[in-house]
Amino acid sequence: MKSRCRILTVLIFAWVATAARAELVVVVNPANPADSLSRREVVDLFMGRTQYFADGSLVLRLDQQPQSQERQDFYRGLVNKSVAEVNAYWAKLLFSGRASPPQVVDGNKAVLAAVRDNKNAIGYMDSAAVDDSVKVVARVD
């Protein structure tokens, strides 16, 4: 009986932990011709290896606040790195003049608004906050 209780407790904690980690999606403006992006393409965009969409337009990349759960989960799921590690990586690119990191906006609503208002924007957000004003092109587990 004791061991059953222990298993049940572990399962409840595991469920709570999974539920706490929101599903993240990558969103673009509905006018963007891309219907889906591969993981490789998302990594290249958010890690500064490319700054342009396939049609040659400059991408407005959006990050959430460094303390936000979304940002921590996004980079952990995308490249298995902490925000500090990603910042150290970006410090190399930024302070050598090679590339600028994504522009920081505050929260899912701000991502939604920025992507809705900018044809070349791309951002990530909690899937629960997505509406029809943006297009989902990738999911990050």
Partner 1 sequence: MSTLRYRLLLVLLPLLLVGNLALAESTVEPERWRLSGFGSLWVTGGDDEGQGVRRDLYMHGLADGDASLAWGGLLGLQLDAHFTDQLGGAIQLVGRDRLDDSLENSVEWAFLRYQFTPEWQLRMGRIGLDIYLLSEYRSVGFSYLWSRPPSEFYTTVPFQSFEGADLTWSRPVGGGQLRAKIYGGETSSDLKLQSGVIELNFSPIYGVVLTWESDVWHWRVAATTNKVDEPGGYFPGLEPLGQSLEQLAPLWPQAGELSGEMTVDGERYYYYGIGVGYNRDLWQVQAEVGRIESTVGFYPLINKGYLSLGRQVGPVTVFGVLAANQGDEERTIVSSPPPPLNMLQPQLQEQVQSLWDGLNVEQHTVSLGLRWDVRYDLALKLQWDRSWVDQYGTSLWQIEEIPDRDLVIDTLTLNLDGIF
Q: Which of 95, 128, 131, 132 touches partner 1 by CB under 8 A?
A: 95
Backbone phi, psi, residue 89, to 5°: -65, -45
In angstroms, what is the minimal distance from the CB of 2 to partner 1?
A: 31
Q: Is the Cβ of residue 18 or residue 80 nearer to partner 1 in the bound state?
A: 80
Q: Which of 87, 107, 127, 129 touches partner 1 by CB under 8 A?
A: 87
Is 84 buried (19+), middle (13-18) or exposed (0-12) by CB count in 10 A? exposed
Q: What is the CA radius of gyration of the chain?
A: 17
User: Contact between 33 and partner 1 (CB under 8 A)?
Assistant: no
User: Contact between 21 and partner 1 (CB under 8 A)?
Assistant: no
Q: Which two tokens stand for residue 47?
A: 């890690």
